[in-house]
Structure 1
Amino acid sequence: MGILGRLLQNKRAGAELVAWHRENLRGPETLGLRSDAFEDGATIPPAHAGRRAGGQNISPALDWNAAPAGTAQLLLIVEDPDAPTNSPFVHAVAIIDPAVTAVPAGALAAASPGAGVRLLRSTMRTGYLGPEPIKGHGPHRYVFQLFALAEPLPASIAGRDAAKAKPRAVMPAVTGPVLARGRLDGFYER
């Protein structure tokens, strides 16, 4: 298994392709996204990794500053730009009520999302997918990004219910301004 990781060592989607760098998702960086589980730039604890990587697939607790007045929805996107794919692997997408300023550990679970959380489809399914980088591929960055949207996402995106739309269709569907945003990066390697 480590052989595949070493063979793909130089194949990575690229950090410049995460949602954070999309023109339509730019905005003031005032949400102050944090987690009690790990500091920005630190290692994500194994409990938050996927089961195939020895974890429990529990999304980390997150908190942030109050959304600015006029926020219709918060959009949370978790991506791995180090995946050996053409675009970052999306580990979670969720719409969060703008009155919410924190979600507990496990709030992104498909079976029981937290209060005020509506899960959308990630790259593979609905709900949080913990880090499971290929063995031997090196450290992977997991980018937790939170956007305060002035306009709600449309109910239908690319001809599908928004909850079932592919993440790469959801991101460009943001048409109103981003009033604020926050980012938290964690790393995981196996």
Structure 2
Amino acid sequence: MPTFGERFEAYLGYLLSSQKGRDAGLMTHLPPFDKIKPTINVSSEIGASGCSMPKQCAMDGDNEWPGLTWEKVPDAQEYIVVAEDADVPIPNPIAHGFFYGIPAEVTSIQHADLKEIDTTKHTIKNGSIKYGKTMLKTVYEGPKPVYNHGPHRYYYTVVALKQPLENVPEYPSKTQLVKAVNEDNVLAWGEWIGVYERKLE
């Protein structure tokens, strides 16, 4: 039987059901990304872009990263990967995880990579990839939309850079990371979208 807290959350979700679609605040809708069309093919072991994500990927499941793979971009020197919820009922999307300093030879991030964490240096995958500061200050937060708020779209974006990032604060926020990306430094980007919904009958 649902707890009082779950029922209250579901009631709020119903009341806020029209408060969605924060696409304008997604990283790729902000300068300099908004002037560049997506060309990188990004895939996930979960399924095609736009598919429903299984509960194992959710925070109230196993919180598994939906293994991502992308095609290698010629001349790319570094990659960034950002995960955002576009339908959260607040003014701007929430970053569920973001990784930067990804070497040019790396073209995938799998769930196992997130288990190789150095919390002192804020790195994963044997120290080769850095991670930033999420709202809950974790490496990654899987989907956990408000009960009965409807389906949420989770955007997993890959950005190829012409040059490695500079002037990035240690353990940055998404805003700080985006600010560090110079307009002339974006070579290409692409995205994979997963959909997740929590219902309380």
User: Normalising TM by the smaller chain, what interval?
Assistant: 0.7 to 0.9
Aligned residues: 181
Distance in 2 of aligned mates of 1:110 and 1:3: 39
Distance in 1 of aligned mates of 2:178 and 2:136: 16
Match of 1:37 in 2: 46
- Once the two structures are superposed, the pairs formed by residues 10-159 of structure 1 within 5 Å of their partners are 10-12=18-20, 14-25=22-33, 26-27=35-36, 29-50=38-59, 53=60, 55-69=61-75, 71-95=76-100, 96-109=102-115, 111=117, 113-115=124-126, 116-157=128-169
Distance in 2 of aligned mates of 1:13 and 1:142: 11
- Where do 4+ consecutive residues of structure 1 move more than 4 Å? none
Q: Deviations over 1:35-66 (max 9, x none)?
A: 0112101101111111xx3x111111111111
Q: Give 1:132 shift.
A: 0.4
Is the 1:30–1:65 Cα contact (8 Å) retained in structure 2? no
Q: Which has the larger radius of gyration?
A: 2
Match of 2:187 in 1: 179
- Give the secondary-structure state (helix, strand or coil) at the position aligned to 1:2: helix
Unmatched 5+ stretches in structure 1 = none
Q: Deviations over 1:88-121 (max 9, x none)?
A: 0100110121111122224245736235322111
Is the 1:108–1:117 Cα contact (8 Å) retained in structure 2? no
TM-score w.r.t. the length of structure 1 is 0.86
Distance in 1 of aligned mates of 2:115 and 2:32: 28
Is the 2:42–2:192 Cα contact (8 Å) retained in structure 1? yes
RMSD: 1.9
Unmatched 5+ stretches in structure 2 = 1-8, 119-123
Q: Deviations over 1:2-49 (max 9, x none)?
A: 101112112236112211112212535332010011210110111111
TM-score w.r.t. the length of structure 2 is 0.82
User: CA 1:86/1:28 → structure 2, altered by over 3 Å: closer, same or farther?
Assistant: closer
